[in-house]
Each structure stands twice: as C-alpha cells, then as structure tokens.
Chain A
C-alpha cells in the first residue's frame, strides 16, 4: 500500500479547443485535509468531475489505494469510497431530512419499496457518524445552509467514504458556521478519512489544510504541504502576479455627512441602527449572515421596510419606498447575488449596463436611442476593461469578475451620492477583486460616499476608513483608522 490514498499523474482533458487540464499531477494522503485551490475557471471543477467519474480523462493515470484505475463511472467512484459534496449540496428541499439522508443509499441498494423504519434507521445511523442531532421530519428546505451541509456530509458518510470532496463548502456560511464545519472536517480527518477541500479563500486554506495543490489555467503550479507555503507565495501561485494589499487612504472627506441614519428599525430584522456617512468615505458594515446587514441595505435602497427611525440625505429627511426613489435620491445598490439580482444574463452586456439609466436614452414619445446605448456602454467596457470584444454579446459569456464590473458600471452611469456595495467581490477571482477595490478607492476620493457590506473581513480592513459592526440586528461597534483590524472586529462579533 502506498503512502497515498489517491494519486493522479499526467491528467489531461480537452473540451474542443480548450485545454482544460494540462498534465496535472497530485495526490491525497489518507487522514489529511488536502486543499485544491485556484481562481474561477482554473480547472478545479473539471478535475473533481474526473475523480467522481462524471468526465473521462483523455490521458493520465489514477491510482486509488495503490490500485490503478482505468475507467471510473459515478457508481464505481461511490463503490471505491469517493464522495463529492457539491456546492449546491444536491439536496431535495421538498423532502424531509430523513428522506434526504436515506434516499441515496436506498437507490444504490436497488430497493423498490419504501420501508419507513429502515429509512429512519439509516438516517439515525448517518447522523450518529458525526454526532449531529436534528429533527428527522423537518423539511429540508426550511433548514439553514449550515444544517443542510451537515446533512449532506452525514449522507456522504453512509457510503463508508474514504475520500470526501467538498466543493467550495463555505461560500454561503457565516464565520461561526465555518468554524463549526471545520470542527467536523477535523473530526473526520482524525477518523482516517481524507478530505479534499476546494476553495479560493486564503484564510480558510491556511486554517484547515495539511496539503495544498494550487491550479492556474489548467496546470497545477504548486503542490506540497501547507506549512511550507507563505501567504504571499500562495497569492503569487494563485494569480501569477505579485499583489500587495493596497490600503484605502481617504483624501477627500466632506465636512457634512451626506447620509444620516438615526434609530432605524425593521422589526424582526434589525433595530435602532444609527450612523452617518460623509462624501469621500468608505464605510464598512460587517456582521455575520443574519445580523441584519443586508436588510439594512435593502431599507436604504427602498426594498426593505422601515418601521421606525429616520433617514436623512444632505440634511433633509427622506422616505425611501422603492429603488426608483432611491435612484432619484442618488443612491445606488450593487446587490449581494449577482446572478439573480444583478444581471439579465440572457441579454447583451450593453443593455445590462444601461438598464438603470434608460431615462438618459429616452426621446420624445418614449422612443429609445439605440446608438447611444452602445456608445455609452462601450465607454464603460473600455473604462473598466471588461473582457469582451463585443458589447452585443450576452452577459452570461463573461466571468464573475467581469459580470460584477457590469453591475458596477450600471450604477456608476447614474450620478450618485451614495453607492452601497453588498459583497462586492463574492465569487470574483483575486485579480478582478484588486481591480474593483482600486476602482472603489478612486471613486471615493472623487467624492462618492461608499458603503461596503461584507463578511470578508480582509476586504473590510483593507478598503474601509470606518467600520460598523452588526450583531443580531443591532449595531454593536464602530472603529476607525488603525483600530480596524480583523482581530478587533472578531472580538466584537463573537
């Protein structure tokens, strides 16, 4: 038996003209956490699909527990003890927890008839593997993301898994939930199961992994033990360029606040929140998922309720009841979920950029100036170096970072006083992240008031000159300048 549980050498895969995987080598040790890191589109998911048998490799060798494996099908992968927990968790929201836990093994066992007793037994057995307790008859869709994830892990364990692959498991989790997940991961690792953890978040990788494999453009550029790697090297391998944290230095803060929020309340979501915001500032609002940070932003953009308190813009009290009115009051909002709230994917890039400023294109009789639509949007395409050769192409043809630039230009095409960015770099690779941050700094120093809502503490620390912290719907702390550090924020949040 070799030292490695899974070993892959010289893996090659092409899709048409695209060389998705180019001579990739890597190995997983039993009882260790191995991180597969890389930016979006580097070939991580293709590699996972080859291991799980969804795709077939063009070339290369795979050995599992010392045995060479020629052809893997999904069923074969399961038999070997390889389990993948996909990002969407592959759950059935309409079924109960019990059914979600038991259904896979029932299908694999080739059963035709449902036996509730056996299902319940299977489900309890699954939960006991990590000592997790939950109402078996609760509907899966009603659970929190963290609970759904634990159910998915329990389900994977039923198959005597030797290798569990987790595809970006922390994306929708709060810090607290991530900690809980990591505890479970360590528990599994200590019981001898190998974990392959796919991520692009630096902090997490250094916290959890024993080994790391970094991929870029379909090649693996580094593999080895995590402790031999510095964060600086890690970033270099990920992006292929040296990046330095570029802290925001405000140069142009106005005396009078542009936005004043006092005792703002949305019952059941957040309560008694007060803060003000000046031009030229970047204000960070941070807190765990469910702390009320997103709801606060929605209230400022006219999509959330206001049960009490006041909002004043430039000293005048205002009531914001719809995004249309928010726009009139020169407030812009870049939403949390780019794909469902930010973009019309099946429509051209140009139309997406101009979507919130169609008034500028309106002539008599409500007719539209198509020429100007394209001229204007092309300006933004070149200004933000959005990677496309033709603004007529659909927004879906772009990567996450470029899509986010579309959403940003959509709002910057309006004259704004206040720009609210909710999770501006979620799912954006490091390169584009830096571009977006630099841009926001520039905008603030030109006199825009910016709010960044994020639970990515590094992002908040680097980009904000002032940070307020929310917890359970209340404002629990505020800090400025040098006092903004990850540790200080974490002290308050926890």
Chain B
C-alpha cells in the first residue's frame, strides 16, 4: 500500500485495530462463546436502534453544531405515535402504523425546524438551545403521559420488527443498512454533503461564498432529528412501548461513538465509515460484557469511557508526531 493511502486512512486503521483488540480480548477470555451465530445475531439486532440515531447526530456534528435534544424529541414523537396507534387499535393495522410513523416523523421535522431556527435565526449557542429544547420535549412527554409507559402497539408493528428478510437479515439491521447507505451517499456524492463539510469548517466563509448557510443549518437539524426519530421508532419496536425517558441513556452513548469515530462537534471532520466501525465496536463491548454473568451492563460504560479517554490522549500525543492523520481540536481560543 502506498504510504499516502496509509496516511489518509490512518484513523480508520486505528479504529479497525481497536476493534480487533476488543475481539481478541473477549476471544481470549470467553473463547468460542463469542463466535456463535446467535451472539452475532444479537449484535445485529441491538445496534441498529442507536446506530441509526448516531448517524442522524453525525450530520449535526459535521455541520459544526450540537444537538442535545434529539432523544427527548424522539421519545416525544414516538409517544405521540404510539398513543395514536393505541387509540386506533380497531382500524386496519397497516394503515394505522403508517399514519403513526408519519406522525412521529412530522413531529421530528417540527423539532428540527425549531432547533435550526433557534440556532441560525436567533444565534443561540447550539448546546444551550438544544439543552433547553431537550427539557421542553421531555417536559411535554412527562406532562402528556403523566410519566407513564405508553403501550397498546398493534401487534403487527413488533412482528415486522422481528422478521428476518431472506431468513437471516433482521429488519432493523436492514433499515440501518438502508439509512447508512443513504447517509453515505448524501455525504460523499451530493452537493449537500460537500456544502455540509464546508459550512461545518467555517460557516462565515461559506456564507460569503453565496451558500445559503441558514438553510443548510435548519435543513441539517431537520435531517438529523428525522433520522434520530427513525432510530427511536426502532427502539419502540424493541420495547413494544414508548416512554419519556427511554432514550436518555443513549444521548451520551451516541456522542461518545461519534467522538471515538473522529467526528468532532467542532465541525467539518470525520468519515461515515469510521462511524460504522465505532458503532459496531461499542456494541461488541456491550455484548462481550454481557457474556460474563457476574458483570452488569454498567461495566460496558466503564470500558467505553476508558476507551474514549485513551483514544483522545493517544491521538493528541501521536497526532503531534503525525502518526494519525486526524488531529483533535486544540483549546477553542488560539
């Protein structure tokens, strides 16, 4: 391989190496247990829901913006959808499900528009605007459900979600792959993707280059929140219900995956392929930890957090020597 290619994809190789280390670690400790078919089927069933959410959030990060509200919004949207579906249980399930999904996506569009307008029209720092919106959406969910779980999903919904296409491809995984392909296409082969990286790098320069930056920001928030909402709809499938705080624990996990993948909220950075590797690595860790009967799921967050810190530190250390092409951000002010 040419040294140039090696340098260009150095971050990808580092992530792949990391994944290999993780696999080796669990193989050494658990032997063949890791390599059973149903373990991998489990992995394939579990990561799509937050994987899709992460892909959505990725657009926001590349655009140089932050979204803390996506999960709260997704929870609210799915609660509305499930409530609708539950209320129309006697109508033909297919139509009800379709309308329910449209309701959820519609709410996500509205939420994305609000985020985008707060950030681009009112110039509120994105972290602040979206933390406030997170509180508002969660507040609405709690108020409208009295904090309870919303059930009564048509059976067909979970049935579809647990089907296997061609006998081996779980439907959630299929949806993830479709969305991944779409995102990959958007980022790498469209004018939108080109503009997104440029706007994320320097929004003012993009504005001075006759790019409609406000439309880019608003559009990106809508895209982000809609994709996140699709992830939440997959979560509804797993849980067979919706609740105001289902997604809360995923917020930090999604940000963590993106940072691990080198998609930093500073904007204009990162590749979607790395995000996929990071998602799968994170899930392998979670599944691996689950194989130890005496370890609980929080053990995984220990490893995730540790991993993130190690990667951050290594990257700065090595980045200065040029081993990893992707440099991490310095402190804000130069």
A and B touch in the complex (CB under 8 A): yes
Q: Which listed segment binds B: A40-48, A357-365, A378-386?
A: A357-365
Does A115 count as interface, using CB distance less than 8 angstroms? no
> Whole-angstrom distance between the alpha carbons of A347 and B64 in the complex?
14
Given A326-B210, A355-B211: A366 and B192 within 8 A (CB)? yes
> Whole-angstrom distance between the alpha carbons of A359 and B198 in the complex?
15
> Whole-angstrom distance between the alpha carbons of A365 and B185 in the complex?
11
Which one, A342, A343, A358, contacts B191 given CB within 8 A?
A358
> Whole-angstrom distance between the alpha carbons of A145 and B210 in the complex?
30
Q: Which residues of B contact A366 (CB under 8 A)?
A: 190-192
Which one, B190, B192, B197, B202, contacts A343 given CB within 8 A?
B202
Does B206 count as interface, using CB distance less than 8 angstroms? yes
Q: Are A323 and B209 in contact (CB under 8 A)?
A: yes
Given A366-B191, A368-B193: A341 and B205 within 8 A (CB)? yes
Q: Are A367 and B205 in contact (CB under 8 A)?
A: no
Q: Chain A: how many interface residues by the 8 Å CB criterion? A: 30
DSSP class of A's interface residues: helix, strand, loop or mixed?
helix
Q: Give 1 or 0 for each of B173-198: 1 = CB within 8 Å of chain A CB.
A: 00000000000000001111111011
Q: Are A323 and B208 in contact (CB under 8 A)?
A: yes
Which one, A303, A344, A358, A370, contacts B201 given CB within 8 A?
A344
Does A218 count as interface, using CB distance less than 8 angstroms? no
Q: Are A344 and B208 in contact (CB under 8 A)?
A: no
Q: Are B190 and A340 in contact (CB under 8 A)?
A: no
> Whole-angstrom distance between the alpha carbons of A327 and B193 in the complex?
21
Q: Which residues of A contact B265 (CB under 8 A)?
A: none
Q: Are B191 and A368 in contact (CB under 8 A)?
A: yes
Q: Are B268 and A355 in contact (CB under 8 A)?
A: no
Does B212 count as interface, using CB distance less than 8 angstroms? yes
Q: Are B209 and A347 in contact (CB under 8 A)?
A: no
CB nearest neighbor in A for B185: A367
DSSP class of B's interface residues: helix, strand, loop or mixed?
helix
Q: Which residues of A contact B211 (CB under 8 A)?
A: 323-324, 355-356, 358
Does A249 count as interface, using CB distance less than 8 angstroms? no
Q: Are B208 and A327 in contact (CB under 8 A)?
A: no
Which one, B197, B198, B202, B268, contacts A340 given CB within 8 A?
B202
Which one, B189, B191, B210, contacts A323 given CB within 8 A?
B210
Does B204 count as interface, using CB distance less than 8 angstroms? yes
CB of A364 to closest CB in B, whole Å: 11
User: Which of A352, A359, A368, A410 gathers the greatest number of chain B CB atoms within 10 Å?
Assistant: A368
Task: List A residues at the B interface (Cβ < 8 Å).
Answer: 303, 322-324, 326-327, 333, 335, 340-347, 351-352, 355-356, 358-359, 361-362, 365-368, 370, 410
Sorted nearest first, the 6 A-B pairs with minimum C-beta distance are A344-B201, A327-B210, A356-B209, A355-B209, A323-B210, A344-B202
Known: A344-B201, A355-B211, A368-B189. 20 other contacts (CB 8 A): A323-B208, A323-B210, A323-B211, A324-B211, A326-B210, A327-B210, A341-B205, A343-B205, A344-B205, A344-B268, A346-B268, A347-B201, A351-B194, A351-B197, A352-B198, A358-B191, A361-B191, A366-B191, A368-B190, A368-B193
